[in-house]
Chains A and B, each alone.
Chain A
């Protein structure tokens, strides 16, 4: 009996020693949490500048007194991301931890060369949170981290939060790292959100058009809105239309889109259908008296025309640039696999530029705020 108990105690002790995971124990204060990463071109050819934004945890602890910096930036020059990440180890004894990284910003110049070299390190890293956002900056990427906005302690957190909580504008494509990879690995094309800094604020608006992992053009805000509709990731936003010299601000409450590929007599046609519901939240007019009544049908018609034109303008531009960031190729592959097998090689150069688009938009105005129409008493006139 004693022998049995002794064995049990030995076994329990052995397990207790083995199962604590001491080898991997790492205290929080022994880690540097990389919240944001920026990549720029270096002066030397084929080399990049990697900048990381780290929070100063002691700075957050003394938040009440408002003393001390909240974040710190380090930069290094190198070839690959892994190499540059290793360089940082000579500047901090704390292990770099990428599990909380919120934003990766690649400068427009570096993206023109290719964004491919910056993705693999993060794609392979098991600690990476795939909901982080990939941005392309207009100007130097590290300048974004230098933005001094007194309201925000960490620029990377601010950028990611801003992108994910934007509800009043559809002029940006909301796409996280996973979504971007999904598009890029499909055909090498995508649209990434554009970011720029004015010194005191970082602005996310417009998009960067990527073809074969290279930045080929910037998209304006209206073009990006059209792309957001095609990606079906518009959660809200404001559209202003002019009807009879009055400006109507339409706030989208919901929006969805569906794209279908059709093959008629060997002609590829994409049927795009966009639906939205929303409210009129403002009528802008300079006259003393506004419109006596809302012509809802006219407003809806204008909205339909505007968005259809924007989408048509975007797809025509994409056809001209022979790039398919929306993934029309996937639709063809899914619906017409035989046709796809025969024409896959010529997709971007021949087939996609010749495709036709049929766009149908259905915008519905549900309410006009709490004002139904302008009513003026006769005696006041």
Chain B
């Protein structure tokens, strides 16, 4: 099984879910409340719509080239040189995504947990630990993510039952925010929900491409709903005003939860653990995707050797923002690139694929041991 790098039908949702849940989740309610107030919920629903549309476009493209990554077919569709340039930019984008996640994680961890530990040490620890798993290929990642998902999914589902105060009035009045603010809030929500773009690279590993659309869309909706529940809980329990003021309202909401039976005084430390695990899985998938894509771009046998260089590049990119506010600007820029990629490049590739048909038959599968970037 060591050489197997195909994703089973049940592993695709796990990868997508782990990529979506992570650093951005904890700050999401604050972004929504700050820009749109109670209408943040509507902006969030709009973001889910955008995300589902993005998922459909990405999976349509992936299914059109079932056994090829974007690095392979981009050169067929737009030519070798433009394709190569695109792949380098996309690889850089993926590395920047990892850098933003790692820096965001380090900032929050330093503030809440490790106040004396240098930021660099937190980042290096996360990147090294992530690289170890990312180097081992897609199968171990999928397995690890499966375990991690079960670990943090059950407590997340239990949270709503322990919130002591929930005021439904906090969600009123609706439709009071102007259109531009709603667009801005939706844009902000996408930062927390993005992650489906990894399917452009990993999607070609799916064992059953026919099931890919259904499982991807359902996963995106399920994870978005779960994230939405957290947003609703934060609004209802802390109040929209408070949520808008706090940088990481979900952590504050958890502190407010009384522990039944007096087993522990506070449960926030368990929530931190869950969040760290979720971020770790996102970083691992991000590192694997970046290295794997670059390996495909440079026609290498495996992306394993590029994991550490990608981690190093992420580390140096993560050092660029001077403070947390600047990191937010970087995050917004990445979302802008994400929108251009998903709603510009992907539809363009889909359109071009109508004229430049893929060389391979869609039903023909490559032998796993012959895949180029295998494993990692």
Contact = CB atoms under 8 A, between A and B. Distances in A.
A15 B125 contact: yes
A66 B346 CA distance: 75
Contacts of B117: 21, 23-24
A11 B132 contact: yes
A15 B124 CA distance: 9
B129 interface: yes
A334 B128 contact: no
A181 interface: yes
Given A14-B128, A15-B125, A178-B256, A129 B172 contact: no
B121 A182 contact: no
Contacts of B129: 15, 19
A130 B129 CA distance: 34
Contacts of A185: 239, 241-242, 245
A129 B255 contact: yes
A100 interface: yes
B258 A131 contact: yes
B173 A333 contact: yes
Interface in B77-125: 111-118, 121, 124-125
Contact of B128 (A11, A178, A186): A11
A129 B252 CA distance: 9
B116 A23 contact: yes
B286 to A, nearest CB: 19
A263 to B, nearest CB: 13
A182 B132 contact: no
Q: Is the interface of A mostly helix, strand, loop or mixed?
A: helix
Interface string B358-371: 00000000000000
A28 interface: no
11 contacts: A11-B128, A15-B125, A19-B129, A126-B112, A129-B265, A131-B258, A178-B256, A179-B165, A186-B241, A333-B173, A334-B173
A185 B245 CA distance: 10
Nearest to B176: A337
Contact of B169 (A11, A131, A178, A334): A334
Interface in A119-140: 126, 128-131
A126 B176 contact: no
Nearest to A12: B132
Interface of A: 11, 14-15, 18-19, 21, 23-24, 100, 126, 128-131, 178-179, 181-182, 185-186, 330-331, 333-335, 337
A182 B258 CA distance: 18
Given A15-B125, A19-B129, 14 more contacts: A11-B132, A18-B128, A21-B117, A23-B121, A24-B114, A24-B116, A126-B251, A131-B256, A178-B238, A185-B239, A330-B169, A334-B173, A335-B172, A337-B173
B173 A18 contact: no
Contacts of A333: 173
A182 B241 contact: yes
The list of the 9 closest CB pairs from A to B, nearest first, reads A334-B172, A337-B173, A23-B117, A18-B125, A23-B116, A182-B239, A24-B114, A24-B116, A126-B112
A186 B116 contact: no
A121 B173 CA distance: 32
B266 interface: yes
Interface in B179-205: none
Interface of B: 111-118, 121, 124-125, 128-129, 132, 165, 169, 172-173, 176, 238-239, 241-242, 245, 251-252, 255-256, 258, 265-266
A21 B169 contact: no
Nearest to A21: B114
A21 B118 CA distance: 10
Nearest to B245: A185
Nearest to A127: B112
Contacts of A23: 114, 116-118, 121
A19 to B, nearest CB: 5
A21 B116 CA distance: 9
A24 B113 CA distance: 8
Nearest to A185: B241
A128 B251 CA distance: 12
A23, A126, A179, A337 — most chain B CB neighbours (10 Å): A126
A15 B128 contact: yes
Contacts of B251: 126
Nearest to A18: B125
A180 B173 CA distance: 23
Contacts of A126: 111-112, 251
Nearest to A233: B165
Contacts of B113: 24
Nearest to B114: A24
Nearest to B169: A334
A130 B172 contact: no
A140 B251 CA distance: 35
Contacts of B245: 185
A186 B169 CA distance: 14
B12 to A, nearest CB: 30
A330 B240 CA distance: 12
A203 B311 CA distance: 60
A23 B251 CA distance: 23
